[in-house]
Amino acid sequence: MLGWLLLLPIIFPVVAGLFVFRIQNRKTMRTLVSVIVLINAGLVYAIAFAPDITFNVWSISDTMLITFHQDAMSRFFACTIASIWVLVVFFAFEYITHEGKEALFLGFYTMTIGTIIGICYSGNLITFYMFFEFMSLITVPLVIHSRTKDAMSAGMKYLGYSVFGAGLGLFGLFFMNHYMGGQLAFTPGGNLDMSLVAGNENLVLAMTLIMVIGFGCKAGMLPLHAWLPTAHPVAPAPASAVLSGLITKAGVLGIIRVCYYMVGTDFLTGSWVQTTLMAISMGTVFMGSMLAFKEKLFKKRLALSTVSQVSYVLFGLFLFTPEGLLGALLQVIFHAVAKNIMFLSAGAIIYKTHKTYVYELKGMGKQMPIVMWCFTLASLSLIGIPPTGGYFSKWYLATGAIAPQFGWLGILGAATLLVSALLTAGYVLPIVQDAFFPGKDFNYAGLEKKEPNGLMTVPLIILTVAVVGLGIIPSPLTAAIGSISATLFP
Q: Torsion over CA of 179, 184, 186 and 192, rounded to 10 degrees? A: -10
In a domain, 359, yes or no: yes
Pick the residue with more confidence: 98 or 372? Answer: 372
In a domain, 219, yes or no: no
- DSSP structure string for 143-200: HTTT--HHHHHHHHHHHHHHHHHHHHHHHHHHHHHHHTTT--B--TT----HHHHTT-
Q: Which domain holds residue 296?
A: 279-482
In a domain, 467, yes or no: yes
- The answer to whether 138 touches 109, Cβ cutoff 8 Å, is no
**Which band of pLDDT confidence, cut at 50, 70 and 90, is reported for residue 378?**
very high
Provide the b/e sequence for 401-434 (b: ≥16 CB within 10 Å). beeeebeeebeebbebbeebbebbbebbeebbeb
- DSSP structure string for 338-362: HHHHHHHHHHHHHHHH---BGGG-T
pLDDT at 4: 85
Nearest Cα residue to 314 out of 466, 407, 416, 172: 416
C-beta neighbour count of 472 within 10 angstroms: 10
pLDDT in tens, 257-300: 999 999 999 999 999 999 999 999 999 999 999 999 999 999 99
**Which band of pLDDT confidence, cut at 50, 70 and 90, is reported for residue 448?**
confident
Nearest Cα residue to 254 out of 400, 112, 130: 130
**Which band of pLDDT confidence, cut at 50, 70 and 90, is reported for residue 439?**
confident
pLDDT at 258: 95
Element (H, E) at 397: helix 389-401
How far apart, in Å, are the Cα atoms of 96 and each of 26, 164, 219?
Answer: 11, 30, 26
pLDDT in tens, 6-22: 999 999 999 999 999 99
- Angle, helices 389-401 vs 322-353, to 10°: value is 140
Q: Is the peptide bond between 322 and the residue preceding it cis, with omega within 30 degrees of 0?
A: no
In a domain, 472, yes or no: yes
In a domain, 140, yes or no: no
Question: What 3-state DSSP class applies to 403?
Answer: coil
pLDDT in tens, 43-101: 999 999 988 888 988 877 766 788 999 999 999 999 999 999 999 999 999 999 888 88
pLDDT in tens, 174-226: 888 888 877 788 999 998 989 899 989 999 999 999 999 999 999 989 899 88
In a domain, 453, yes or no: yes
In a domain, 338, yes or no: yes
In a domain, 394, yes or no: yes
Percent of the chain with pLDDT over 90: 75
pLDDT at 380: 96
**Which band of pLDDT confidence, cut at 50, 70 and 90, is reported for residue 1?**
low
Domain total in the chain:
1
